[in-house]
């Protein structure tokens, strides 16, 4: 996932992007409220290949979600990392989501 400064004007409001995010992923239990930031969004693995104008909804302190075949408790269990959700700023289509602690979220 790559984000860059926005190059357009959205048709969709940030509030609608937040609703799309919450409809798909629920209302995250976070110690800080979600933020919606306008950006040019691209994801070479899942698409889109070329940047599209998107709202990136960020849950800055979302609890780490363990996934994968390792069911043993991880060192990250009980920690928090930002969770990012991309929503097309024109169509409202969900573009993808990612949770990562690297690089650190700066707001």
Sign of the CA dihedral 19, 25, 29, 35? negative
pLDDT at residue 38 in the model? 97
DSSP secondary structure of 45-69 = TTS-SS-EEEEEEEEEEEEP---SS
Pair 87, 93: CB distance under 8 Å: yes
Instruction: Please state the domain extents for the chain.
Output: 2-99
Residue 6's region, left for phi above 0, alpha for psi from -120 to 50, else beta, is: beta
Instruction: List pLDDT tens digits, range 39-94.
Output: 999 988 888 889 999 999 999 888 887 665 555 555 555 688 889 999 999 999 99
pLDDT at residue 70 in the model? 55
pTM of the model: 0.83
Quick one: CATH architecture of 2-99?
A: Roll (3.10)
pLDDT at residue 102 in the model? 84
Instruction: List pLDDT tens digits, range 11-32.
Output: 999 999 999 999 998 877 667 8
């Amino acid at each position: 996932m790559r984000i860059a400064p926005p190059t357009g004007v959205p048709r969709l409001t940030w509030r609608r992007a937040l609703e799309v995010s919450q409809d798909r992923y629920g209302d995250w239990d976070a110690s800080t409220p979600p933020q919606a930031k306008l950006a040019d969004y691209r994801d070479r693995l899942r698409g889109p290949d070329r940047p599209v104008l998107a709202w990136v909804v960020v849950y800055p302190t979302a609890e780490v979600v363990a996934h994968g075949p390792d069911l043993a408790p991880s060192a990250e269990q009980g920690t928090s990392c930002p969770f990012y959700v991309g929503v097309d700023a024109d169509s409202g289509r969900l573009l993808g989501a990612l949770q990562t602690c690297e690089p650190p979220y700066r707001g």
